[in-house]
C-alpha cells in the first residue's frame, strides 16, 4: 500500500517541498518496481504528484517503453542508500539496492525537475560520502526554567515535545522526516544533550513516546537516537553508582538497552554529553571517557547501535585571572591520549571548532589527531552565535571551509568524519520551521553537505532556491543569492573581529557586550587593553594551543606574520597598530569591517524589498520585518565594538567617520 504523503497542518510552510516541486514527475507516467517498506513511501510520493498534475503511476508492471520514469529496486552493489540514474530512449531510470536509496533517487529526480526528462543522461551513481547524517535536537520534554522548551532554539517550540509530553501531532513529525529525507539526513536525536530529570526517563518508562516519533520518521529512512544521562543507573535505576567498570552498572545498561530495542528495533543509539558543563560523567569515578563510552557501546553492540560521545569537555569554572588554562586546548588534551581505546561502535563527536560554534574559529585540532577513533564532526545549524534566526546568516560557506580543511593527516575534515556529520537542529514548531524563513537554507545545506562534503555550497544553495521557489524567475534567484551568498561574512564583519569570538550578551548570547564574558568563569576572553587585543595561543609565548596542530598549521598559526588574518586574534595578542596581510592595521580593520557590515545588511534589506512582487506576501513580510531587527542589531554591534576599541586605543578612524 502506498504511504500517503503527510498533510501539512494549516499555515505550515512546505519549505523545499512545495507541491509544484513535483510538477515534472506528476505530469508523467511512472513505473515503480520492488518491495520494501520505503518503496511504499516512494509510491505515495509519486501517487500524490500524479493526483495533482495528472500523471499516472503503476506498480510492478512489465518492461517496455511506455514509461517516462522507472523507479526500481534491483541492482546490487549500490549500498542501502545509493542509487543510479540514467536516461535513454525516452525513459529515466533510477535503480537502487535498498528502499532508502530509491527514496533518495526519487528526490534526486525532484531536484532535476524537467531536466530529468530531457534528452539523454549518462548513468550516474550517487552514494553518500558519510553513512551518518544526523541532526541533534536540543529539545526538552518539559519546559526548562532557563532554557525553555528548546535549548538555543529560535524556531518556536519543539516538533516532538510540548510542555512535558510528546506532541500528539505526528503528522508534523512525518512532514519533518520527509523534508529531512529530501536533503539526505538519516538520523535524528530527539532530545537535548543536557538531560534533565523528565528527559532522563525517555530511556526507560517513557520509551514508548520515543517509539512513536521513531515510527513517524522511519518511512523516510530516518533512525531515531536518544540523548541519555550518564547517571541514569543512579537517577533511574536506583543503583548507588554509575561507575562504568561496575558489573551492576553494566548489567543495568544492558537490560535497559534491550528494552529500548524491543520498543524501537532500528534504534540508532545514544548521544552523551558527559563531564561537560555540569553533566555527570566518568570522572566522578576516576574513570576515563573511553571507559564511559565503552560502557554504553557494549550495551548497544548486540543490537548494532552506536554511542555518540561528545568531546565538549572543558573547565567551565575557570578563573579569568589564570592565564595558563586555555579552553581551546581542552578537547585535544582530554581525548588524544585515549586514541585507540574506544570501542568500534563508539563515535567521538567533536565540535568543528575548539571553542563553541563562533562565527569564526579554526578547525578543532582534535580532528585528524585521533586516527584510531571513529570521529563525527558536529556543526550548529541553530544560530546560537550567528544571529539566532533573526539575522540572515547562511552557513554553507563556513561549513564547506571546515569540511574541505586538511588537517596534518592529509585527508579533509569531510573524509576524516568517518562517524558522520552532525548538526544541532535549527527547526521547531514555527510555521516556517526555522523561525527566519531564509534559515531553512541552512538546514537544507547541512543535509546536502553531509551527503557530499566536497559539494560547492553555492550550488547547494541554488538547489534550495529552485526547490523552494519553483519556477523562480532569474531576478528572484539572483536576489536570493545576493542576500544569502555573503551573509556569513557580513555577519562576521559586524560582530567580534578577527576570530577573537564571543563579545556577546551573557546567558542568551544575542547582541553585543564586549566585556560580557571577560571576567567570567567560561574561558572565553579577548584580553583587550590600551595597547592591543587577542589571545596568545602560541607555543613560544602563549598557551601552546597552536602546537596541538600538525604541520603546516602549527607553524603557520604560531607566528602573527604567517597566521591568516581572519584568525589573528584567536592565536595572538597584537598591538592595535599591527599591520594585517591586507595592509590595514588591526584597529582600522575593526572600524572598516564594522561600518561595512552594517552597510551590507542595509543593502541586503533593500534587495529583499525589491523582491516583494516575486515572493508570497507572508514570507516577504516576515523576512522584511526581521531585516529591521538585523539592521538595528548590526548597528548596535558596530557602535559598541567601534566605541570600545576607540576608547581603549585612542586611535581615530583614518576615514574620520563618527565613532560614539
Ligand atoms: O554552545 C553551548 C550552548 C549550550 C549547549 C552546549 C553544548 C546543550 O550554549 O546551550 O548545551 O554548548 O554544546 O553542549
**pLDDT (tens digit, 9 = 90+) per residue, 570-606?**
999 999 999 999 999 999 999 999 999 999 999 999 9
Please tell me the distance between residue 283's alpha carbon and the centre of ligand 1 in angstroms: 20
Q: How many helices (H) and strands (E) does the chain have?
A: 20, 20
Question: Where does 133-468 sit in CATH, by number?
Answer: 3.20.20.80
- Residue whose entry in the numeric block shows the C-alpha cell 572600524: 591
Question: How confident is residue 408, by pLDDT bands cut at 50, 70 and 90?
Answer: confident
Q: What gap in Å lies between CA 405 and CA 578, rounded to an integer?
A: 27
Please tell me the distance between residue 138's alpha carbon and the centre of ligand 1 in angstroms: 9
The domain over range 492-535+573-649 is classified in CATH as 3.90.1330.10: yes
Query: What stretch of H or E contains 490?
Result: helix 487-494
Q: What gap in Å lies between CA 379 and CA 391, rounded to an integer?
A: 18
For ligand 1, residues with CB inside 6 Å are 138, 151-152, 193-194, 273, 277, 312, 356-357, 384
C-alpha cell read off for 316: 567551565
Rounded to the nearest 5°, which phi and psi values hold at 353? -115, 165
Please tell me the distance between residue 596's alpha carbon and the centre of ligand 1 in angstroms: 30
Atom of ligand 1 nearest to the CA of 351: 13
pLDDT higher than threshold 70 for residue 101: yes
Please tell me whether the peptide bond between 552 and the residue prior to it is cis, using omega within 30 degrees of 0. Answer: yes
Atom of ligand 1 nearest to the CA of 192: 8
Please compute the mean of the pLDDT values over residues 362-381 and round it to a whole number: 98
Cα–Cα distances in Å, from 251 out to 237, 246, 286, 290, 303?
11, 9, 20, 18, 15
Please tell me the distance between residue 129's alpha carbon and the centre of ligand 1 in angstroms: 28
Question: How confident is residue 51, by pLDDT bands cut at 50, 70 and 90?
Answer: very high
Please tell me the distance between residue 620's alpha carbon and the centre of ligand 1 in angstroms: 32
Query: What stretch of H or E contains 534?
Result: none
Neighbours of 495 (CB within 10 A): 30
Question: How confident is residue 63, by pLDDT bands cut at 50, 70 and 90?
Answer: low
CA-nearest residue, atom 2 of ligand 1: 356
Q: What is the mean pLDDT of the chain?
A: 97
Q: What gap in Å lies between CA 502 and CA 527, rounded to an integer?
A: 12
565 Cβ partners below 8 Å, 6+ apart?
A: 498, 580, 581, 582, 589
Give the residue extent of every domain in the chain: 19-126, 133-468, 492-535+573-649
Q: What gap in Å lies between CA 499 and CA 497, rounded to an integer?
A: 6
Please tell me the distance between residue 590's alpha carbon and the centre of ligand 1 in angstroms: 28
Quote the pLDDT of residue 64: 64
Of 154, 158, 356, the one to substitute when testing ligand 1's pocket (max ligand atoms within 8 A of C-beta) is 356
- Residue whose entry in the numeric block shows the C-alpha cell 576608547: 647
Please compute the mean of the pLDDT values over residues 255-282 and round it to a whole number: 98
Quote the pLDDT of residue 76: 79
Model confidence over 289-325: pLDDT tens digits? Answer: 999 999 999 999 999 999 999 999 999 999 999 999 9
Model confidence over 315-351: pLDDT tens digits? Answer: 999 999 999 999 999 999 999 999 999 999 999 999 9
pLDDT higher than threshold 90 for residue 109: yes
| Reported ipTM exceeds the 0.95 cut | yes
Neighbours of 10 (CB within 10 A): 6
Q: What gap in Å lies between CA 270 and CA 247, rounded to an integer?
A: 20
Please compute the mean of the pLDDT values over residues 140-165 and round it to a whole number: 97
CB contact burial 170-204 (16+ within 10 A = b; e otherwise)? bebbbbbbbbbbbbbbbbbbbbbbbbbebbbbbbb
Of 146, 152, 310, 311, the one to substitute when testing ligand 1's pocket (max ligand atoms within 8 A of C-beta) is 152
CA-nearest residue, atom 3 of ligand 1: 152
431 Cβ partners below 8 Å, 6+ apart?
A: 11, 12, 13
CA-nearest residue, atom 11 of ligand 1: 194
Residue 243: closest CA among 192, 304, 272, 285: 285
Please compute the mean of the pLDDT values over residues 197-208 and round it to a whole number: 98
Question: How confident is residue 387, by pLDDT bands cut at 50, 70 and 90?
Answer: very high
Please compute the mean of the pLDDT values over residues 181-206 and round it to a whole number: 98
Question: How confident is residue 61, by pLDDT bands cut at 50, 70 and 90?
Answer: confident
Atom of ligand 1 nearest to the CA of 138: 8
Pairing outcome for strands 139-144 and 121-126: unpaired
Question: How confident is residue 131, by pLDDT bands cut at 50, 70 and 90?
Answer: very high
Atom of ligand 1 nearest to the CA of 385: 1
DSSP class of residue 51? H
In this structure, which CATH number among 3.30.1200.10, 3.30.379.10, 1.10.645.10, 3.40.50.2000 belongs to the domain 19-126?
Answer: 3.30.379.10
> Contact, 103 vs 42, CB < 8 A?
yes
Quote the pLDDT of residue 65: 62
C-alpha cell read off for 173: 513529525
Strands (DSSP E) along 97-183, which ranges? 121-126, 133-136, 139-144, 148-150, 161-162, 165-166
Please tell me the distance between residue 194's alpha carbon and the centre of ligand 1 in angstroms: 8
CA-nearest residue, atom 13 of ligand 1: 312
Please compute the mean of the pLDDT values over residues 417-443 and round it to a whole number: 98
Pairing outcome for strands 69-73 and 29-33: parallel
What residues are annotated to the active site? 277, 356, 384
Query: What stretch of H or E contains 250?
Result: helix 247-263
pLDDT higher than threshold 90 for residue 62: no
Do 19-126 and 492-535+573-649 have matching folds? no
Atom of ligand 1 nearest to the CA of 424: 13
Helix, coil or strand: residue 600 = helix
Amino acid at each position: 500500500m502506498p504511504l500517503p504523503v503527510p498533510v501539512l497542518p494549516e499555515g505550515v510552510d512546505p519549505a523545499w517541498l512545495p507541491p509544484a516541486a513535483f510538477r515534472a514527475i506528476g505530469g508523467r507516467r511512472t513505473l515503480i518496481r520492488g518491495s520494501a517498506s520505503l518503496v511504499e513511501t516512494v509510491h505515495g510520493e509519486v501517487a500524490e504528484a500524479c493526483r495533482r498534475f495528472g500523471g499516472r503511476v503503476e506498480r510492478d508492471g512489465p518492461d517496455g517503453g511506455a514509461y517516462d520514469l522507472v523507479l526500481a529496486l534491483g541492482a546490487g552493489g549500490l549500498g542501502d542508500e545509493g542509487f543510479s540514474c540514467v536516461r535513454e530512449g525516452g525513459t529515466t531510470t533510477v535503480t537502487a539496492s535498498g528502499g532508502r536509496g530509491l527514496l533518495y533517487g526519487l528526490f534526486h529526480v525532484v531536484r532535476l525537475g524537467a531536466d530529468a526528462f530531457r534528452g539523454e543522461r549518462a548513468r550516474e551513481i550517487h552514494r553518500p560520502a558519510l553513512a551518518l547524517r544526523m541532526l541533534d535536537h536540543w529539545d526538552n520534554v518539559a519546559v526548562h526554567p532557563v532554557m525553555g522548551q528548546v535549548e538555543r532554539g529560535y524556531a518556536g517550540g519543539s516538533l516532538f515535545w510540548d510542555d512535558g509530553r510528546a506532541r500528539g501531532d505526528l503528522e508534523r513529525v512525518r512532514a519533518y522526516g520527509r523534508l529531512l529525507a529530501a536533503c539526505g539526513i538519516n538520523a535524528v536525536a530527539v532530545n537535548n544533550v543536557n538531560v534533565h530529570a523528565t528527559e532522563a526517563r525517555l530511556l526507560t518508562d517513557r520509551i514508548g513516546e520515543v517509539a512513536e516519533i521513531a515510527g513517524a520518521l522511519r518511512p523516510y529512512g530516518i533512525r531515531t537516537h536518544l540523548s541519555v544521562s550518564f547517571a541514569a543507573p543512579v537517577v533511574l535505576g536506583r543503583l548507588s553508582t554509575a561507575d562504568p567498570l561496575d558489573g551492576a552498572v553494566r548489567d543495568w545498561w544492558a537490560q535497559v538497552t534491550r528494552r529500548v530495542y524491543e520498543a524501537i528495533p532500528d534504534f540508532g543509539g545514544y548521544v552523551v554529553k558527559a563531564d561537560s558543563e555540569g553533566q555527570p560523567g566518568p570522572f566522578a569515578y576516576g574513570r576515563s571517557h573511553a571507559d564511559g563510552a565503552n560502557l554504553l557501546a557494549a550495551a548497544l553492540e548486540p543490537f548494532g547501535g552506536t554511542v555518540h560521545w561528545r568531546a565538549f569537555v572543558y573547565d567551565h569554572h575557570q578563573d579569568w585571572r589564570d592565564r595558563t588554562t586555555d579552553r581551546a586546548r581542552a578537547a585535544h588534551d582530554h581525548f588524544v591520549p585515549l586514541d585507540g581505546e574506544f570501542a568500534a561502535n563508539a563515535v567521538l563527536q567533536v565540535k568543528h571548532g575548539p571553542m563553541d560554534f563562533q562565527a569564526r574559529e579554526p578547525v578543532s585540532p582534535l580532528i585528524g589527531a585521533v586516527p584510531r577513533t571513529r570521529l563525527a564532526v558536529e556543526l550548529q545549524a541553530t544560530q546560537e552565535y550567528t544571529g539566532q534566526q533573526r539575522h540572515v546568516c547562511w552557513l554553507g560557506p563556513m561549513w564547506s571551509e571546515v569540511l574541505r580543511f586538511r588537517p596534518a593527516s592529509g585527508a579533509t575534515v569531510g573524509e576524516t568524519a568517518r562517524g558522520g556529520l552532525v548538526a544541532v537542529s535549527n527547526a521547531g514548531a514555527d510555521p516556517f520551521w526555522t523561525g527566519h524563513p531564509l534559515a531553512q537554507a541552512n538546514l537544507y545545506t547541512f543535509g546536502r553537505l553531509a551527503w557530499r562534503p566536497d559539494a560547492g555550497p553555492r550550488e547547494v544553495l541554488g538547489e534550495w532556491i529552485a526547490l523552494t521557489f519553483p519556477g523562480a524567475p532569474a531576478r528572484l534567484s539572483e536576489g536570493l543569492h545576493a542576500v544569502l551568498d555573503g551573509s556569513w561574512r557580513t555577519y562576521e564583519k559586524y560582530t567580534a573581529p578577527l576570530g577573537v569570538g564571543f563579545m556577546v550578551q551573557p546567558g542568551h548570547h544575542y547582541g553585543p557586550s564586549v566585556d560580557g564574558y571577560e571576567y567570567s568563569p567560561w574561558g572565553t576572553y579577548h584580553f583587550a587593553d590600551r595597547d592591543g587585543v587577542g589571545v596568545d595561543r602560541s607555543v613560544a609565548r602563549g598557551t601552546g594551543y597552536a602546537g596541538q596542530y600538525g604541520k603546516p598549521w602549527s607553524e603557520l598559526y604560531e607566528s602573527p606574520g604567517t597566521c591568516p588574518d581572519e584568525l589573528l586574534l584567536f592565536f595572538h595578542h597584537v598591538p592595535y597598530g599591527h599591520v594585517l596581510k591586507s595592509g590595514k592595521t588591526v584597529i582600522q580593520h575593526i572600524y572598516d569591517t564594522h561600518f561595512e557590515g552594517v552597510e551590507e545588511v542595509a543593502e541586503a534589506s533593500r534587495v529583499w524589498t525589491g523582491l516583494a512582487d516575486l515572493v508570497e506576501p507572508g514570507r516577504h513580510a516576515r523576512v522584511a520585518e526581521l531585516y529591521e531587527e538585523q539592521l538595528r542589531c548590526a548597528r548596535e554591534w558596530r557602535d559598541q565594538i567601534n566605541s570600545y576599541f576607540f576608547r581603549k586605543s585612542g586611535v581615530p578612524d583614518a576615514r574620520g567617520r563618527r565613532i560614539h
